C-alpha cells in the first residue's frame, strides 16, 4: 500500500481514508487470493522481494488508486481470516505500520471472530529496533538467533558477526 501511495508522493494512506473510498476490483482480488504463496507450507516469508516480484506486477495503471488500495485491504483481511479460522480461540497481535491504518484494522476485525490487539505506538514504532537488539544479545551469548522453524534453515544457528573498534 505504501508503494502505491508513493506514486502520488505520500508515504502512506493515513487512517486508510483513500482505501475506504475505493471499491474492490474483483479480478485483482481473485488473482491475489490465488497466489501460490498461500498454498505453501510454513516456514515461509512474505518479504519485500517476493512482493515486488509477484504482486506489484498485478497492479495495472488502468486501476484507480482508491480501488487498488481497497482491494489490497480486503485481500489482507481475507488472508488473516483464512490463517486464523482454524484456531478456536486466538488473539491477533498487529505490530507493523498497518496497525496505524484504522480502516485496515476495522476490516481485519470484521473478517475474523478473533480479538485484534494493537500495542501502544512506541512498540509499533520501535519493534524492529528492539527485535534486532535482542538478536544481537543472543549472538553475543552464542545462543541461536535464527530458528529453522521460522526461516526454513537446515538447523537453528547463531547468525551475525560481532565487530569491535
Over residues 56-94, the pLDDT tens digits come to: 889 988 999 999 999 999 999 999 999 898 887 778 999
Mean pLDDT of all residues in the chain? 92
What is the CATH T-level fold of the domain 2-119, as seen in this structure? Answer: Nucleotidyltransferase; domain 5 (3.30.420)
pLDDT at position 86 is 86
CA separation (Å) from 36 to 15, 41, 44, 114, 152? 30, 11, 12, 26, 18
Answer yes or no: pTM beyond 0.85. Answer: no
For the segment 116-126, the average pLDDT, to the nearest whole number, is 93
Residue limits of CATH 3.30.420.40 in the chain? 2-119
Lowest average pLDDT, out of 86-95, 106-115, 121-130, 135-144, goes to: 86-95
**DSSP codes joined into one string, 105-164:** HHHHHHH-SSEEE---HHHHHHHHHHHHHHHHHHHHTT---B-HHHH--SS-B-------
pLDDT range class, residue 15, cuts 50, 70, 90: very high
Sign of CA dihedral 8, 14, 16, 22: negative
Instruction: Give the mean model confidence (pLDDT) for residues 26-45.
Output: 90
pLDDT for 110: 96
Please give the average per-residue pLDDT across 37-56, as a whole number: 85
Residues 94 and 128 sit within 8 Å (Cβ to Cβ): no
Amino acid at each position: 500500500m505504501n508503494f502505491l501511495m508513493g506514486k502520488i508522493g505520500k508515504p502512506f494512506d493515513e487512517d486508510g481514508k483513500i482505501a475506504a473510498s475505493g471499491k474492490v476490483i474483483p479480478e485483482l482480488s481473485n488473482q491475489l487470493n490465488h497466489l501460490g504463496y498461500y498454498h505453501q507450507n510454513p516456514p515461509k516469508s512474505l518479504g519485500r522481494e517476493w512482493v515486488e516480484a509477484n504482486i506489484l506486477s498485478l497492479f495495472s495503471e488502468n486501476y484507480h488508486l482508491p480501488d487498488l488500495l481497497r482491494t489490497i485491504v480486503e485481500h489482507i483481511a481475507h488472508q488473516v481470516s483464512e490463517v486464523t479460522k482454524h484456531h478456536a480461540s486466538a488473539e491477533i497481535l498487529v505490530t507493523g505500520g498497518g496497525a496505524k491504518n484504522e480502516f485496515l484494522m476495522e476490516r481485519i476485525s470484521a473478517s475474523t471472530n478473533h480479538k485484534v490487539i494493537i500495542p501502544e505506538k512506541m512498540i509499533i514504532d520501535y519493534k524492529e529496533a528492539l527485535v534486532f537488539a535482542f538478536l544481537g544479545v543472543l549472538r553475543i551469548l552464542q545462543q541461536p538467533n535464527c530458528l529453522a522453524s521460522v526461516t526454513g534453515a537446515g538447523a537453528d544457528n547463531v547468525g551475525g558477526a560481532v565487530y569491535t573498534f
